[in-house]
Structure 1
Amino acid sequence: MDAPEPQTPFEPAYMSVRELLASYVAILDELTRRGVIRTRNSPLGDLAETLAVRAYGGTLAPNSQKSYDVLTRDNRRIQVKARLVTRLDKRSQNFSAFRSWDFDSALFLLFDTNTYDLIWARELTLEEVQRIGRRVEHTNSSAILVRDVAAVGKEVTSVFSYAFDAIDEPPNTHSPIS
């Protein structure tokens, strides 16, 4: 029996817009099937929440939950924020706004916009988040700058890198952080 023909590599530059969109849908379908994402939005937020569950253990909150994204095994309510950045971009950049404060701590993950590689991860207490937040009246929210998060909180990058490196494996029954 002959060996199967090698598959053609995925080459987005040679694909039509419709082919690119169809591929994106297929990729979202597969990421959903694998349990990495749960919405059709940009996969960044779902990816960050999945990594939080894998790193800390626990469960994802329902999509309609406004105040937190993950409930850990020890009943901590974690709000998860993620941001894509270009490493050379020195402008001030915000994480998505906070509109409610019913959580115990917030997890901030910064990813490279070109590769989705994890740059860093930090966990801040509710009090730290409130202290660095800047009130935005017209959106009734608090804005959090990436550079402010980098200066406070607990460094958890290695734990999230470990979870990200194992993303293709089934979730563990125990996590690196307990």
Structure 2
Amino acid sequence: MRAAHDDLSRASVPELLGRYAAILAELRDRGVVRTRNAPLGDYAEYLTEKVYRGTLEPNSVKSYDLIDADGRRIQVKARTVGPDTGAGAVFSVFRSFDFDIAVLITFDSATYALREAREVPVAELETAGRHSAHVNGRLIRITAGLRLGVDVTARFRAVASP
């Protein structure tokens, strides 16, 4: 049974994720984990589903994460960003381009607060970044990705509120 101070049912989603970020930071300091990205992908897909009024695809679908209300196939890539994020940091690798648009989202690494969201057509992504044989795909630096497409941050902020 949980103690009264452990009741998380009244906490907002950003508050819960902020607490989780603090736990991950402590685990990282102790050398238990190496990153802070664990729940990030799922949260980004959740927000994208709300913004685009879409339907999430099963995890077994490799090329895209959801189909929006207009029938577009959307690939979601998310990354936490903080003061210690290096200039060469990248979104996770693009191994296929069998989708219509990608949504690139950054979150604050300490609080999981939404920082920026970009909607990028697949054609723009296919020529951006660099191919890496090591990971067999195209790598897009965060700084480059956040200059692509159109800014949809306001739409994401509207659904990220509790």
TM-score range, shorter chain: 0.7 to 0.9
1:100 to 96, 100, 112: 96
TM-score (norm 2): 0.76
Question: Is residue 70 of structure 1 aligned with residue 54 of structure 2?
Answer: no
* Counterpart in the other structure of 1:136: 132
- Aligned AA for 2:78? A
* Counterpart in the other structure of 1:121: 117
* Counterpart in the other structure of 2:159: 163
- Aligned AA for 2:81? V
Q: How does 1:1-178 map to 2 (within 5 A)?
A: 7-8=4-5, 42-87=38-83, 89-166=85-162
Q: Is the 8 A contact 1:87 1:112 kept in 2?
A: no
For residues 53 and 46 of structure 2, what CA distance do their matches in structure 1 show?
A: 10
Deviation at 1:77, TM superposition (A): 0.2
How many residues of Structure 1 are paired with residues of Structure 2 in the alignment? 133
| SS of 1:139 mapped into structure 2 | coil
Give me the identity figure in percent. Answer: 43
For residues 87 and 54 of structure 1, what CA distance do their matches in structure 2 show?
A: 29
TM-score (norm 1): 0.69
Segments of 5+ residues of structure 2 without an aligned counterpart are 8-18, 21-36
Q: Is the 8 A contact 2:87 2:143 kept in 1?
A: no
For residues 78 and 156 of structure 1, what CA distance do their matches in structure 2 show?
A: 14
Measured against aligned partners, the alpha-carbon deviations of 1:84-113 in whole angstroms (never above 9, x if no partner) come to 110464522100001111000100000001
For residues 102 and 68 of structure 1, what CA distance do their matches in structure 2 show?
A: 7
Segments of 5+ residues of structure 1 without an aligned counterpart are 1-5, 11-22, 25-40, 167-178
- Aligned AA for 2:44? A
Which 4+ stretches in 1 moved above 3 angstroms? 6-10, 87-90
Deviation at 1:151, TM superposition (A): 1.5
For residues 97 and 139 of structure 1, what CA distance do their matches in structure 2 show?
A: 7
For residues 69 and 163 of structure 1, what CA distance do their matches in structure 2 show?
A: 18
For residues 39 and 153 of structure 2, what CA distance do their matches in structure 1 show?
A: 19
- Aligned AA for 1:8? H
| SS of 1:138 mapped into structure 2 | coil
Give the direction of change, closer, same or farther, for the CA distance of 1:87–1:120 in structure 2 (3 Å limit). farther
* Counterpart in the other structure of 2:24: none
